[in-house]
């Protein structure tokens, strides 16, 4: 039995990223690498919404079992012209046949694979400074030419 109750998850926003085809540097000492350029996108939630500034990247390491380890950095611009830096590490994994379907660009139901990230936000904006001091988690869905996430704040909004 846990000592403390499980934390609440509060919806922050939904995010859609449009992406280029991967650049494939190949197998390095770290693993099989892919670099995917983020070309844009949008986010929308109750407390903030806006667009993704083109030019972010997802530096991916693919493990031997097909598991994808993400290292992403993007820039968000809110509708009220505030800039928010967003970075996240994530894991996408599943049965080898499912991973192959994802890599081939097939649409795969999200209950067939594991895809979660841990976003971190950084901003100089007074209005959104609270983002600097919270933890977040997300669930993702891989689609041809884009990725969608639903991002949650861990704990209360206050």
Per-residue tokens: 105: 């660009």
Quick one: average pLDDT of 9-15? 97
pTM equals 0.93
**Structure confidence by residue, pLDDT tens digits, 79-124:** 999 999 999 999 999 999 999 999 888 999 999 999 999 999 999 9
> CB neighbours of 58 closer than 8 A, spacing ≥ 6?
19, 34, 35, 36, 38, 70, 71, 72
What's the whole-number average pLDDT of the chain?
95
**Structural domains of the chain in order of their starting residue, each with its CATH number:** 9-154 (2.40.160.20)
Over 70: is that where the pLDDT of 157 sits? no
User: What are the Cα distances from residue 157, in Å, to 12, 48, 149?
Assistant: 9, 13, 19
The beta strand positions in 45-157, using DSSP E, are 49-62, 68-78, 83-93, 114-122, 136-143, 146-154
- Where helices occur in the chain by DSSP H, the ranges are 96-103
């Amino acid at each position: 039995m846990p000592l403390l109750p499980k934390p609440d998850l509060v919806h922050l926003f939904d995010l859609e990223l449009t992406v280029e085809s991967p650049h494939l540097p190949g197998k390095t000492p770290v693993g099989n690498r892919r670099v995917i350029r983020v070309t844009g996108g949008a986010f929308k939630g109750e407390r903030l919404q806006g667009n993704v500034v083109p030019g972010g990247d997802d530096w991916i390491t693919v493990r031997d079992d097909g598991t994808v380890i993400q290292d992403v950095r993007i820039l968000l611009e809110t509708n009220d012209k505030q800039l928010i830096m967003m970075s996240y590490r994530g894991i996408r994994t599943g049965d080898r046949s499912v991973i192959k379907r994802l890599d081939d660009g097939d649409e795969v139901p999200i209950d067939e694979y594991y895809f979660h990230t841990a976003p971190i936000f950084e901003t100089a904006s007074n209005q959104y400074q609270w983002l600097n001091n919270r933890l977040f988690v997300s669930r993702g869905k891989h689609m041809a030419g884009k990725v969608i996430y639903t991002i949650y704040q861990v704990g209360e909004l206050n």
